[in-house]
Structure 1
Amino acid sequence: MDRQLLSAIAHRDHPIAAPVSEASLDRLLRRAALPEEARILDLGCGEGEWSLRALELHPSARADGVDISPHAVAAASEAAVRRGLADRLTLHTMSADAFTAARPYDLGLCVGSTHAFGGLTETMEALARFVRPGGLALVGEGYWERPPTPEVREAIGDYPDLAGTVEAAESKGWLSVYAHVSDLAEWDEYEWSWTGTLARWAADNPGPDGDRALAVMREHRDMWLGGYRGALGFVTLLLRRV
């Protein structure tokens, strides 16, 4: 059972796929104040919730979603049809760093997917190739609220603090114009959804796949509850290309 399928299952009850509430998602997208007929690019779109909500809020906009997981792209396609948005969302099953476009975008999204480009600085450099001058990016990234143990840092990643994260995001010709810092309630909702949905699926599917899913869930939950809960932060930055 591949990891992409496990991730798709785990995110079924939380398609935002980040520690961000629906209200916070809407506030970020409204603050972008996109123009009429805006073009949106979502790199590492997952199940497409960020793009789909943007299209609902901006009825003349169109979006491209890019993700390497065929399971996530299939879920995004189904959601677009269900919400009457399939004619305005084009999905691409490919790695984000391989995507190219003939025209620039008004908004570039990359939330929780900066690893696709090798990190935050590289992601901002990549987004600058897609977003027009004066356009916007919404980028979600982890940071350390407090220093983690060496074991947790090795497992999760070597993130800077919040100030260092903002500095890195602005290092390639971008200016932060708004941000949302996820609170503990948003983190808990995300993590309990992730682990709980996977646990329920494992219980409903006994056998090797269920055992694998349960093992992944327990490993993740142990790392969260015993390691990074309260230490790992998440910020979603709205940045303008200058």
Structure 2
Amino acid sequence: MTTATAPRDDLPPRLTRLTFHGPLSEARAAAMVRRLAGPRPGSVLDVGCGWGELMLRLLTAVPQARGVGVDVNAADLERGRRTARARGLAGRVEFAEESAVDTGRGPADVVLCLGASQALSDDLVPALRELRRLVADGGRVLLGEGFWQCAPTEAELAGMWPGASATDHHDLAALVGLTVAAGFRPEWIETANPDEWEEFESAYQADTEVWLAANPGHPVATETRERLDAHRAAWLTYRGVLGMAYLTLVPTA
């Protein structure tokens, strides 16, 4: 006989300090929304959307637009639905819990893929081809993609994520070149600055760090401490080495 387990409300919080799930400032996000809203898109597709903050802001800026966010994380999707309801957008957006691989959700006038190309393919080249398939002619893709700001050393790679390799990312010039080869022209090229990275990485763990300081004897404290310490060590290793490019891409006819 099994006994149902009641939901736990004493566990560490998750990402409550984050507005965007990436190194993105309010000022940069506002500029992106203005740029993407200019052509008055009617449809927005957010690949690997998380809670879809940028998509929701774009829908607010373009009242006739409708949006779909696709992700496999149920908690993030529910956060997006709550936010949409609070902003009066629930009737114009869908948060779908499904894989983006071979998705039939496009083509859309704007496709957002912010730090989520792996949702389409583990290889960037076919992921870019998928983005070209998913965007309507005359539309825009906003791609957020990691790149090496400088070539990582073997010691740096050893301190990053498990199995980190110099082939995990390209430099910025090579990354932009791949987008052109996939059928795009880069309308806008920008990269996250150090302040955006520090805001993101600190906020990524801040709520849990505060919880851990107050709950050192909790049953999950050891596991939580190990996870936090490992992530912080990785960040402080790739700090200044790994960059984030935000590329606004126009599909070629």
RMSD over aligned Cα atoms: 2.0
Contact 2:37 2:61 in 1 (8 A): no
1:47 to 9, 32, 51: 51
**1:76 aligned onto 2:87:** no
Misfit runs of 4+, over 6 Å: none
**1:134 aligned onto 2:124:** no
Q: Partner of 2:3 in structure 1?
A: none
Cα distance in structure 2, aligned partners of 1:58 and 1:173:
26
**1:112 aligned onto 2:122:** no
Cα distance in structure 1, aligned partners of 2:100 and 2:67:
15
Q: Map Cα deviations across residues 197-233 of structure 1 (whole Å, 9 max, x no partner).
A: 22224445653334323221110101111x1111111
Q: Partner of 2:60 in structure 1?
A: 56
The gaps in structure 2 that reach 5 residues or longer are 1-11
Please give the residue correspondences for 1:18-57 in structure 2 after superposition, counting only pairs within 5 Å: 18-36=22-40, 38-57=42-61
Q: Partner of 2:220 in structure 1?
A: 209
Q: Tell me the TM-score normalized by structure 1.
A: 0.89
1:151 Cα deviation after fit: 4.8
Q: Map Cα deviations across residues 139-191 of structure 1 (whole Å, 9 max, x no partner).
A: 00111111112254363452111111111222211110012211000000000
Cα distance in structure 2, aligned partners of 1:95 and 1:201:
32
Q: Partner of 2:181 in structure 1?
A: 171
Indicate the structure (1 or 2) with the bigger Cα radius of gyration: 2
Q: Partner of 1:4 in structure 2?
A: none
Matched AA of 2:113: C
Matched AA of 1:111: L
Please give the residue correspondences for 1:148-227 in structure 2 after superposition, counting only pairs within 5 Å: 148-153=152-157, 155=161, 156-157=164-165, 158-203=168-213, 207-225=218-236, 227=237
Three-state SS of the structure 1 residue aligned to 2:101 is helix
The gaps in structure 1 that reach 5 residues or longer are 1-7
1:37 Cα deviation after fit: 5.5
Matched AA of 1:173: G
Cα distance in structure 2, aligned partners of 1:179 and 1:163:
11
- Identical counterparts, % of pairs: 33
Q: How many residues align?
A: 233
Q: Map Cα deviations across residues 89-125 of structure 1 (whole Å, 9 max, x no partner).
A: 1110011215312x52100010001122213322221
